[in-house]
Amino acid sequence: MQVFLPEQSYKACAQVLDQKRLVKQLLEGRQILSALAGETKGWVNHPATRMFAGVEDELVRYLYAIKNEMEQRKYKWENNWSIIIETFNRNFHGNEFKDPDYLKPGHPENHRLITTHRGRLYEKAPELYPQYKYEANNYRQYVCCDRCNYYWPTHPKKEKNCLITSESLPPALLQSA
C-alpha cells in the first residue's frame, strides 16, 4: 500500500511517476478510500490510509491528478476512477474536511514526507529516479520509526527518531519558516 508524494503538487507527483507506480496509484488510492469509507476492513490501520482520514477530499484531489496523468499517457483509468467517484459521493459528499497542514509546502512534516518518498523511489528504481539520489542517501533520518521506510504524519510516534527538531531540518526549510 502506497501513496507516492515526492513533489509539492499532486500534478507534479503524478508527472514524475513511472508507468508501474502511476497505474498502481489509482488502484491503491481506491483501496484507501474504500477503507476510509468503512466498505472494507483491509488497510484501515495502514499509515497511508490514516494520513487521509478526515481529509478524503485531498486523497481524491491526488487521485484526480493521477487520473489526468494516466489519461495524458493514454493508460486505462476509467474503471478505478468511476469507483473512486462513486465511493466518495456515497460516503463523503457534503462532509466538512479539515486542512491537512502536513501536505503544505514549507511545513516541516511536508519536507519529511517528500524526502522519504523521494528516497524510496530512488531505492526502488534508481534508473527511473536519478533526480532523487541525494534523498536516497539521507531520507532514513526522517522516517517515522525504526520499522518504517517512510515518514507518515499520522503514524504513532513511539520511537526516539520520530521526533523532529530544528537540527534535523535542512537550513533552506528553516529560513522559509
**How confident is the model over 126-168, as pLDDT tens digits?**
999 999 999 999 999 888 877 788 888 777 654 444 444 444 4
Q: Is residue 24 part of a domain?
A: yes
- What number is the average pLDDT over the span 50-59? 90
**Segments forming the whole domain that contains residue 158:** 103-176
Domain identity same for 87 and 125: no
What global pTM score does this model have? 0.83
CA 3 – CA 114 distance, rounded (Å): 11
Domain identity same for 81 and 119: no
Cβ contacts of 76-80, under 8 Å, gap ≥ 24: 77/26, 80/26, 80/27, 80/29, 80/30
Q: Is residue 21 part of a domain?
A: yes
Q: Is residue 20 part of a domain?
A: yes
- The mean-pLDDT minimum among 8-17, 39-48, 97-106, 136-145 falls in 97-106
pLDDT digits over 71-110, tens only?
999 999 999 999 999 999 999 988 777 776 666 655 667 8
